[in-house]
Amino acid sequence: MHFVINIVATIILLFFILAGWQKGFMLSLLGVVRVILAYGMAFLMGRYAGAWLGAAAHRPRIVTIPVVAGLTFVVITFFFHVLMSNMRDEQKHKEEKEDYHHPWYSSLGGSAINLGIGLFSMIFLFWLGDLFLVGMAGTSIPGAEKSAFGRFARRVVYESTYLVAKRGGRESQAAATARVVSNPAQGLQHLESVIRADSVQHLLTDKQFADDLLSGDADRIADNLALRQLFNDKQTLAELRELGVVWEGDKKSELCRRLSQFGANENIQASIERLKEKQLLSTDKITLLIRDPDFDVIIGELLK
């Protein structure tokens, strides 16, 4: 399957290069405007309209955000396609009537611009597809790990996310966030490992910890025996670092303070109770868990 991804990516990029050569510099420049507007609006619509739709329809944002972003991208791209097709028809008519042809440097510039547009578009759509498949089926695009284009696309997404997330000396957290964003399936594996851990299962089933957490008292949370077991579970803590939940140099007191804020949040309290009632806090129901609206509420509150 990875050969198919590489071949399709190569064919599409060649198409963009040839199309840029035919369009010339000015039409290709208009294509840049199309890409900036399409991706900018897709990002904004996905982030705000997609999040709103998920909350209003009680659907997980891991599904609604990429769907809304993808539809926005398609609509704007189609509009510019129609506009640019009309411009190309006028240009072709001019060439036939006046025997006009693009200078070679205009065609070369058009190819270079179009190559950049095509590469950026393919990376974005590859990431959206990867995210959607993980949200729906719990797996990434088949062959993505071995394909040269898949690895390249994930690296670009990783570097971009890291650049945006890096702040306040928390480079390790930014790197973990970038890994999860660029490879959602890998993030899902880390989440499965965390929930599967004995220390976490003990924590989830310990009534005393539930009472301590919901109290919102950091000192009371720090004294909980089940939580102490988790702090001694180095492997699970490493998995939590991979998810960006904790990071290097994090102190136990700071973690307990954040847990107290977590436990005092009424939306999170209600969502946790509903997840327990639906019996979704188990390793064999991870895919259902990440698609559940109550899990999405918890993530949304944590990211505020």
Question: What is the per-residue pLDDT across 231-257, written as a single tens digit (0 to 9) for each?
Answer: 888 888 888 777 777 665 667 777 787
Sign of CA dihedral 24, 27, 33, 38: negative
Q: Residue 277 contacts by C-beta under 8 Å, 6 or more apart in sequence?
A: none
Residue at token pair 């950026």: 120
Residue 148 near residue 54 (C-beta atoms within 8 A): no
| CA nearest neighbour of 30 among 91, 72, 71 | 91
Q: What per-residue confidence (pLDDT) applies to 140?
A: 82
Distance CA 26, CA 20 (A): 10
Residue 191 near residue 158 (C-beta atoms within 8 A): no
Residue 296 near residue 61 (C-beta atoms within 8 A): yes
| CA nearest neighbour of 62 among 191, 162, 159 | 191
User: Could you tell me how many helices (H) and strands (E) the chain has, helices first?
Assistant: 16, 0
Mean pLDDT, to the nearest integer, of 298-304?
Answer: 63
Distance CA 141, CA 56 (A): 29
Distance CA 83, CA 80 (A): 5
**What ranges in 138-206 are assigned the alpha helix state H?**
148-165, 171-182, 184-196, 198-205
Low-confidence winner among 41-45, 106-110, 121-125, 290-294 (lowest mean pLDDT): 290-294
Reported as a pLDDT band with limits 50, 70 and 90, residue 154 is very high
pTM above 0.85, yes or no: no
Q: What per-residue confidence (pLDDT) applies to 185?
A: 85
pLDDT tens-digit profile of 58-83?
777 767 778 888 889 889 888 888 88
Mean pLDDT, to the nearest integer, of 182-205?
Answer: 82
Q: Residue 128 contacts by C-beta under 8 Å, 6 or more apart in sequence?
A: 66, 69, 70
